Amino acid sequence: METPPDNPDSETQPSPPSEEDECERRQRRRLQIMVNMVLSVLSQDAELTFEEANKMIDDCRDAALAMFPGKELAFDMIYRPRLERVMKERFPRR
């Protein structure tokens, strides 16, 4: 049995992302960049205090929830462990 030739007009072609999908993709990317920047500062700023580091994490979480309301659990499951790991490495006695 022969397979039909590829048809560019076929219904199996993915539809272009909607404006809403594109907006959410951009916001997810912004969140990733923001978290990576916070992780970088936590790791590299030699003068950063424990209190300032905690404030940065709280501010990062607040910004994430402003972008994605109601996604507290997602933030706590995806990003909080990474942030806490860097905090434990940076401030081992706390």
| pLDDT, tens only, 15-59 | 777 888 899 999 999 999 999 999 999 999 999 999 999 999 999
Look at residue 71 and tell me if it is in a domain: yes
Q: What percent of the chain stands above pLDDT 70?
A: 87
Q: What is the pLDDT of residue 7?
A: 58
Look at residue 43 and tell me if it is in a domain: yes
Q: What is the pLDDT of residue 42?
A: 96
Identify the domain containing residue 34 by its residue range: 19-90
Measuring CA to CA, how many Å separate 28 from each of 2, 52, 75?
Answer: 43, 25, 12
pLDDT category at 2 given cuts 50, 70, 90 is low
Look at residue 65 and tell me if it is in a domain: yes
How many domains are there within the chain? 1
Look at residue 13 and tell me if it is in a domain: no
Look at residue 69 and tell me if it is in a domain: yes
What DSSP designation does 8 have?
T
Measuring CA to CA, how many Å separate 57 from each of 2, 5, 22, 39, 72?
Answer: 58, 54, 27, 9, 13
CA–CA dist 27, 61 (Å, integer): 14
Look at residue 83 and tell me if it is in a domain: yes
Listed in order, strand segments (DSSP E) in the chain are: none
How many helices (DSSP H) and strands (DSSP E) are in the chain?
4, 0
Look at residue 1 and tell me if it is in a domain: no
Indicate the pTM of the whole model.
0.76
